[in-house]
Structure 1
Amino acid sequence: MFTPLEITQILSTTPDRAFTLFSHRDHLAKWWGPKGMEMKIKTFDFRSGGIFHYLIKAGNGFEMWGKFTYLEIEAPNRITLINSFPNADAETVPAPIVPFGADWPLEMWTEYRFEPSGDQTLLRLTSYPLNASDASNQQFFENHDNMRLGFKGTFDALSDYLKTLQ
Protein backbone atom coordinates (compact mmCIF):
# COMPACT_ATOMS: atom_id res chain seq x y z
CA MET A 1 0.00 0.00 0.00
CA PHE A 2 1.40 3.36 -1.04
CA THR A 3 0.77 6.48 0.98
CA PRO A 4 -0.98 9.44 -0.63
CA LEU A 5 0.81 12.71 -1.20
CA GLU A 6 -0.08 15.15 1.57
CA ILE A 7 0.95 18.79 1.60
CA THR A 8 -0.14 21.57 3.94
CA GLN A 9 0.32 25.32 3.79
CA ILE A 10 -0.84 28.09 6.11
CA LEU A 11 -2.53 30.94 4.25
CA SER A 12 -3.01 34.39 5.77
CA THR A 13 -6.69 34.58 4.94
CA THR A 14 -10.04 33.03 5.80
CA PRO A 15 -11.16 29.66 4.38
CA ASP A 16 -13.86 31.53 2.46
CA ARG A 17 -11.35 33.74 0.68
CA ALA A 18 -8.89 30.87 0.11
CA PHE A 19 -11.70 28.87 -1.52
CA THR A 20 -12.51 31.87 -3.73
CA LEU A 21 -8.92 31.98 -5.00
CA PHE A 22 -9.33 28.38 -6.23
CA SER A 23 -12.86 28.81 -7.59
CA HIS A 24 -12.62 31.95 -9.75
CA ARG A 25 -10.81 32.01 -13.07
CA ASP A 26 -9.42 35.54 -12.68
CA HIS A 27 -7.81 34.69 -9.35
CA LEU A 28 -6.47 31.28 -10.39
CA ALA A 29 -4.84 32.80 -13.48
CA LYS A 30 -2.71 35.03 -11.24
CA TRP A 31 -1.04 32.33 -9.15
CA TRP A 32 -1.55 28.73 -10.37
CA GLY A 33 1.42 26.79 -11.72
CA PRO A 34 5.14 26.38 -11.18
CA LYS A 35 7.22 29.49 -10.51
CA GLY A 36 8.60 31.10 -13.61
CA MET A 37 6.02 29.59 -15.96
CA GLU A 38 3.29 31.41 -17.84
CA MET A 39 -0.23 29.98 -17.60
CA LYS A 40 -3.05 30.26 -20.14
CA ILE A 41 -6.55 29.06 -19.28
CA LYS A 42 -8.42 27.39 -22.13
CA THR A 43 -11.51 26.27 -20.17
CA PHE A 44 -12.68 27.06 -16.65
CA ASP A 45 -16.02 25.53 -15.64
CA PHE A 46 -16.06 25.40 -11.84
CA ARG A 47 -18.86 22.97 -11.00
CA SER A 48 -19.17 19.25 -10.35
CA GLY A 49 -18.45 17.65 -13.73
CA GLY A 50 -16.79 20.81 -15.07
CA ILE A 51 -13.16 21.17 -16.08
CA PHE A 52 -10.23 23.52 -15.67
CA HIS A 53 -8.03 23.03 -18.76
CA TYR A 54 -4.84 25.05 -18.96
CA LEU A 55 -1.44 25.34 -20.61
CA ILE A 56 1.77 26.23 -18.84
CA LYS A 57 4.83 27.46 -20.74
CA ALA A 58 8.44 27.84 -19.70
CA GLY A 59 10.84 30.39 -21.13
CA ASN A 60 12.86 27.57 -22.76
CA GLY A 61 9.87 26.57 -24.95
CA PHE A 62 8.66 23.65 -22.79
CA GLU A 63 4.83 23.44 -22.77
CA MET A 64 2.54 21.21 -20.76
CA TRP A 65 -1.25 20.96 -20.60
CA GLY A 66 -3.07 20.30 -17.33
CA LYS A 67 -6.66 19.40 -16.52
CA PHE A 68 -8.82 19.21 -13.42
CA THR A 69 -12.15 17.41 -13.73
CA TYR A 70 -14.15 18.59 -10.72
CA LEU A 71 -15.94 15.88 -8.74
CA GLU A 72 -17.29 17.53 -5.60
CA ILE A 73 -17.36 21.15 -4.53
CA GLU A 74 -18.32 21.98 -0.96
CA ALA A 75 -17.87 25.74 -0.58
CA PRO A 76 -15.88 26.97 1.29
CA ASN A 77 -14.38 23.79 2.74
CA ARG A 78 -13.43 21.28 0.07
CA ILE A 79 -12.78 20.65 -3.63
CA THR A 80 -12.19 17.15 -5.02
CA LEU A 81 -11.09 16.53 -8.57
CA ILE A 82 -9.29 14.25 -10.98
CA ASN A 83 -5.96 15.74 -12.03
CA SER A 84 -4.52 14.67 -15.39
CA PHE A 85 -2.30 15.73 -18.26
CA PRO A 86 -4.32 16.24 -21.44
CA ASN A 87 -3.58 17.33 -24.95
CA ALA A 88 -4.82 20.65 -26.40
CA ASP A 89 -8.27 19.07 -26.94
CA ALA A 90 -8.54 18.11 -23.22
CA GLU A 91 -8.19 14.39 -23.96
CA THR A 92 -6.25 12.65 -21.18
CA VAL A 93 -2.86 11.46 -22.43
CA PRO A 94 0.30 10.22 -20.68
CA ALA A 95 2.22 12.89 -18.78
CA PRO A 96 5.40 14.23 -20.37
CA ILE A 97 8.20 11.73 -19.70
CA VAL A 98 10.36 14.67 -18.65
CA PRO A 99 9.90 15.50 -15.81
CA PHE A 100 7.42 12.80 -14.79
CA GLY A 101 8.74 9.49 -16.14
CA ALA A 102 7.28 6.77 -18.34
CA ASP A 103 5.08 5.21 -15.66
CA TRP A 104 3.42 8.36 -14.33
CA PRO A 105 -0.29 7.71 -13.51
CA LEU A 106 -2.80 8.91 -16.09
CA GLU A 107 -5.08 10.30 -13.39
CA MET A 108 -4.73 11.36 -9.77
CA TRP A 109 -7.56 11.85 -7.31
CA THR A 110 -6.91 15.14 -5.52
CA GLU A 111 -8.58 16.96 -2.66
CA TYR A 112 -8.07 20.51 -1.45
CA ARG A 113 -9.36 21.29 2.04
CA PHE A 114 -9.63 24.77 3.53
CA GLU A 115 -9.59 24.51 7.34
CA PRO A 116 -9.82 27.40 9.81
CA SER A 117 -6.64 27.88 11.86
CA GLY A 118 -7.12 30.89 14.11
CA ASP A 119 -7.39 33.88 11.77
CA GLN A 120 -5.68 31.93 8.99
CA THR A 121 -6.42 28.90 6.80
CA LEU A 122 -4.73 25.53 6.75
CA LEU A 123 -4.71 24.46 3.11
CA ARG A 124 -4.47 20.67 2.91
CA LEU A 125 -3.79 18.86 -0.36
CA THR A 126 -4.15 15.07 -0.58
CA SER A 127 -3.53 13.19 -3.82
CA TYR A 128 -3.06 9.62 -5.01
CA PRO A 129 -3.02 7.72 -8.32
CA LEU A 130 -6.40 6.58 -9.57
CA ASN A 131 -6.80 3.15 -11.23
CA ALA A 132 -3.03 2.97 -11.64
CA SER A 133 -0.63 0.09 -12.22
CA ASP A 134 1.82 -0.97 -9.53
CA ALA A 135 4.60 0.73 -11.52
CA SER A 136 2.60 4.00 -11.69
CA ASN A 137 1.81 3.85 -7.96
CA GLN A 138 5.50 3.29 -7.24
CA GLN A 139 6.61 6.17 -9.44
CA PHE A 140 4.08 8.51 -7.82
CA PHE A 141 5.20 7.42 -4.33
CA GLU A 142 8.90 7.82 -5.18
CA ASN A 143 8.27 11.39 -6.40
CA HIS A 144 6.51 12.76 -3.31
CA ASP A 145 9.51 15.00 -2.49
CA ASN A 146 9.61 16.41 -6.05
CA MET A 147 5.86 17.08 -5.96
CA ARG A 148 6.19 18.81 -2.59
CA LEU A 149 8.82 21.10 -4.11
CA GLY A 150 6.62 21.86 -7.11
CA PHE A 151 3.56 22.59 -4.99
CA LYS A 152 5.66 24.70 -2.62
CA GLY A 153 6.37 27.06 -5.53
CA THR A 154 2.69 27.13 -6.50
CA PHE A 155 1.49 27.68 -2.93
CA ASP A 156 4.18 30.32 -2.35
CA ALA A 157 2.81 32.11 -5.43
CA LEU A 158 -0.67 31.86 -3.86
CA SER A 159 0.65 33.40 -0.62
CA ASP A 160 2.34 36.19 -2.60
CA TYR A 161 -0.87 36.82 -4.55
CA LEU A 162 -2.82 37.04 -1.28
CA LYS A 163 -0.52 39.88 -0.17
CA THR A 164 -1.53 41.88 -3.25
CA LEU A 165 -5.21 41.63 -2.25
CA GLN A 166 -4.84 43.08 1.25
Structure 2
Amino acid sequence: MDLTVTRTYDAPPVRVWAALTESDLVKRWWGPDGFTAPVARMEVRPGGTSLVAMRSPEGFELYNTWTYGLVDPPRRLEYVLGFCDASGRPVPPSSLGLPGDIPETGVPHEVTLTPSGGGTELTVTERGYGTADTVRMSRLGLEQTLDKLAAVL
Protein backbone atom coordinates (compact mmCIF):
# COMPACT_ATOMS: atom_id res chain seq x y z
CA MET A 1 0.00 0.00 0.00
CA ASP A 2 1.18 3.50 -0.82
CA LEU A 3 0.55 6.92 0.63
CA THR A 4 0.85 10.35 -0.96
CA VAL A 5 0.82 13.72 0.79
CA THR A 6 0.95 17.09 -0.99
CA ARG A 7 1.71 20.50 0.52
CA THR A 8 2.09 23.94 -1.04
CA TYR A 9 4.77 26.20 0.43
CA ASP A 10 5.25 29.92 -0.01
CA ALA A 11 8.86 29.46 -1.12
CA PRO A 12 10.50 28.83 -4.50
CA PRO A 13 11.59 25.28 -5.40
CA VAL A 14 15.30 26.05 -4.84
CA ARG A 15 14.56 27.04 -1.24
CA VAL A 16 12.41 23.97 -0.60
CA TRP A 17 15.13 21.81 -2.20
CA ALA A 18 17.73 23.30 0.16
CA ALA A 19 15.51 22.51 3.16
CA LEU A 20 15.27 18.89 2.00
CA THR A 21 18.97 18.39 1.31
CA GLU A 22 21.12 20.61 3.57
CA SER A 23 22.09 19.23 6.99
CA ASP A 24 21.48 22.38 9.04
CA LEU A 25 18.02 22.81 7.56
CA VAL A 26 16.98 19.14 7.79
CA LYS A 27 17.82 19.21 11.52
CA ARG A 28 15.21 21.96 11.95
CA TRP A 29 12.21 19.99 10.64
CA TRP A 30 12.85 16.22 10.47
CA GLY A 31 10.47 14.20 12.65
CA PRO A 32 6.89 14.53 13.88
CA ASP A 33 5.62 16.96 16.52
CA GLY A 34 7.72 17.00 19.68
CA PHE A 35 10.69 15.26 18.04
CA THR A 36 14.08 16.85 17.35
CA ALA A 37 16.67 15.85 14.76
CA PRO A 38 20.13 15.57 16.35
CA VAL A 39 21.75 14.04 13.24
CA ALA A 40 21.45 14.89 9.54
CA ARG A 41 24.55 13.83 7.61
CA MET A 42 23.44 14.52 4.08
CA GLU A 43 25.02 12.89 1.03
CA VAL A 44 22.46 13.83 -1.62
CA ARG A 45 23.74 12.38 -4.90
CA PRO A 46 22.82 9.32 -6.95
CA GLY A 47 24.10 6.34 -4.95
CA GLY A 48 24.71 8.50 -1.86
CA THR A 49 23.32 7.72 1.57
CA SER A 50 22.26 10.25 4.18
CA LEU A 51 22.06 9.36 7.88
CA VAL A 52 19.32 11.13 9.84
CA ALA A 53 17.95 10.68 13.34
CA MET A 54 14.91 11.82 15.23
CA ARG A 55 14.75 12.00 19.02
CA SER A 56 11.47 11.60 20.90
CA PRO A 57 10.58 13.86 23.83
CA GLU A 58 11.53 10.89 26.07
CA GLY A 59 15.00 10.70 24.51
CA PHE A 60 14.53 7.62 22.28
CA GLU A 61 16.49 8.02 19.03
CA LEU A 62 15.38 6.46 15.74
CA TYR A 63 17.93 6.40 12.90
CA ASN A 64 17.26 6.21 9.18
CA THR A 65 19.30 6.06 6.03
CA TRP A 66 18.08 7.71 2.85
CA THR A 67 19.77 6.00 -0.10
CA TYR A 68 19.32 7.99 -3.29
CA GLY A 69 18.54 6.78 -6.78
CA LEU A 70 17.38 9.86 -8.68
CA VAL A 71 18.57 13.33 -7.68
CA ASP A 72 17.24 16.04 -10.01
CA PRO A 73 17.57 19.45 -8.31
CA PRO A 74 15.28 21.24 -7.64
CA ARG A 75 12.58 18.99 -9.07
CA ARG A 76 12.74 15.41 -7.86
CA LEU A 77 14.30 13.06 -5.32
CA GLU A 78 13.92 9.31 -5.18
CA TYR A 79 15.36 7.41 -2.24
CA VAL A 80 14.81 4.38 -0.06
CA LEU A 81 14.32 5.11 3.64
CA GLY A 82 15.90 2.35 5.68
CA PHE A 83 15.98 1.75 9.42
CA CYS A 84 19.39 1.48 11.04
CA ASP A 85 21.44 1.93 14.18
CA ALA A 86 23.48 5.05 15.00
CA SER A 87 26.36 3.85 12.82
CA GLY A 88 24.10 3.32 9.79
CA ARG A 89 23.98 -0.50 9.98
CA PRO A 90 20.55 -1.78 8.85
CA VAL A 91 18.15 -3.12 11.48
CA PRO A 92 14.67 -4.63 11.00
CA PRO A 93 11.95 -2.01 11.64
CA SER A 94 10.18 -4.52 13.92
CA SER A 95 13.25 -4.54 16.22
CA LEU A 96 12.52 -0.85 16.89
CA GLY A 97 8.92 -1.48 17.89
CA LEU A 98 7.57 -0.52 14.46
CA PRO A 99 4.88 -2.50 12.62
CA GLY A 100 6.05 -5.77 11.11
CA ASP A 101 4.63 -4.92 7.68
CA ILE A 102 7.17 -2.13 7.04
CA PRO A 103 9.50 -3.56 4.39
CA GLU A 104 12.85 -4.64 5.89
CA THR A 105 14.50 -3.58 2.63
CA GLY A 106 13.28 -0.01 3.19
CA VAL A 107 10.46 2.25 2.12
CA PRO A 108 10.80 3.77 -1.37
CA HIS A 109 10.11 7.52 -1.42
CA GLU A 110 9.44 9.85 -4.32
CA VAL A 111 9.55 13.60 -3.70
CA THR A 112 8.52 16.07 -6.39
CA LEU A 113 8.72 19.85 -6.31
CA THR A 114 6.57 21.78 -8.78
CA PRO A 115 6.47 25.59 -9.11
CA SER A 116 3.04 26.82 -8.05
CA GLY A 117 2.00 30.49 -8.06
CA GLY A 118 5.33 31.83 -6.81
CA GLY A 119 5.66 28.96 -4.34
CA THR A 120 6.20 25.23 -4.51
CA GLU A 121 3.90 22.23 -4.50
CA LEU A 122 5.70 19.38 -2.72
CA THR A 123 4.42 15.83 -3.13
CA VAL A 124 5.81 12.89 -1.14
CA THR A 125 4.86 9.32 -2.01
CA GLU A 126 5.87 6.39 0.21
CA ARG A 127 5.49 2.87 -1.19
CA GLY A 128 5.20 -0.70 0.04
CA TYR A 129 3.36 -0.74 3.37
CA GLY A 130 1.47 -3.93 4.18
CA THR A 131 -1.61 -2.60 6.00
CA ALA A 132 -3.92 0.39 6.12
CA ASP A 133 -3.01 0.88 9.81
CA THR A 134 0.67 1.36 8.93
CA VAL A 135 -0.28 3.76 6.13
CA ARG A 136 -2.33 5.80 8.63
CA MET A 137 0.54 5.86 11.15
CA SER A 138 3.04 6.93 8.51
CA ARG A 139 0.66 9.57 7.11
CA LEU A 140 0.27 11.15 10.55
CA GLY A 141 4.04 11.39 11.05
CA LEU A 142 4.63 12.65 7.51
CA GLU A 143 1.94 15.33 7.77
CA GLN A 144 3.35 16.59 11.09
CA THR A 145 6.88 16.58 9.65
CA LEU A 146 5.79 18.54 6.56
CA ASP A 147 4.04 21.06 8.83
CA LYS A 148 7.37 21.57 10.61
CA LEU A 149 9.04 22.04 7.21
CA ALA A 150 6.64 24.92 6.53
CA ALA A 151 7.92 26.72 9.63
CA VAL A 152 11.52 26.41 8.36
CA LEU A 153 10.58 27.90 5.00
- Counterpart of 1:49? 47
Q: Under a length normalisation based on structure 2, what TM-score does the superposition of the two structures give?
A: 0.90
| 1:142 and 2:138 matched | no
Q: Give the direction of change, closer, same or farther, for the CA distance of 1:10–1:33 in structure 2 (3 Å limit).
A: same
1:96 deviation in Å? 4.5
In structure 2, the residue matched to 1:17 is 15
Amino acid at match of 1:104: I
CA contact (8 A) 1:64 1:96 kept: no
Aligned to 2:5: 7
Q: Which runs of 5+ in 2 are unaligned?
A: none
Structure-2 residue corresponding to 1:83 = 81
Contact 1:50 1:70 (8 Å CA) reproduced: yes
Amino acid at match of 2:26: L
Higher relative contact order (CA 8 A, sep 6+): 2
Cα distance per residue 1:79-138 (max 9 Å; x no partner): 100111111221221114665222321211101100111112110001112xxxxxxx42
Aligned 8 A contact 2:37 2:53 in 1: yes
TM-score (norm 1): 0.83
Structure 1 consecutive aligned stretches of length 4 or more whose deviation exceeds 4 Å: 96-99
CA distance in 2, matches of 1:152, 1:34: 8
The one-letter amino acid paired with 2:82 is: S
1:8-157 to 2 correspondences below 5 Å: 8-41=6-39, 43-96=41-94, 100-106=98-104, 107-129=106-128, 137-139=129-131, 141-157=132-148
Could you tell me how far apart the structure 1 residues matched to 2:143 and 2:5 are? 9
Cα distance in structure 2, aligned partners of 1:85 and 1:96: 10
Once the two structures are aligned, what percentage of the paired residues are identical?
A: 26
Given that 2:27 and 2:40 are in contact with CA atoms closer than 8 Å, whether structure 1 keeps it comes out as no
Separation in structure 2 between the aligned mates of residue 61 and residue 41 of structure 1, nearest angstrom: 14
Q: Quick check: 67-76 or 34-43, which moved more?
A: 34-43
Question: Residue 69 of structure 2: SS of its match in structure 1?
Answer: strand
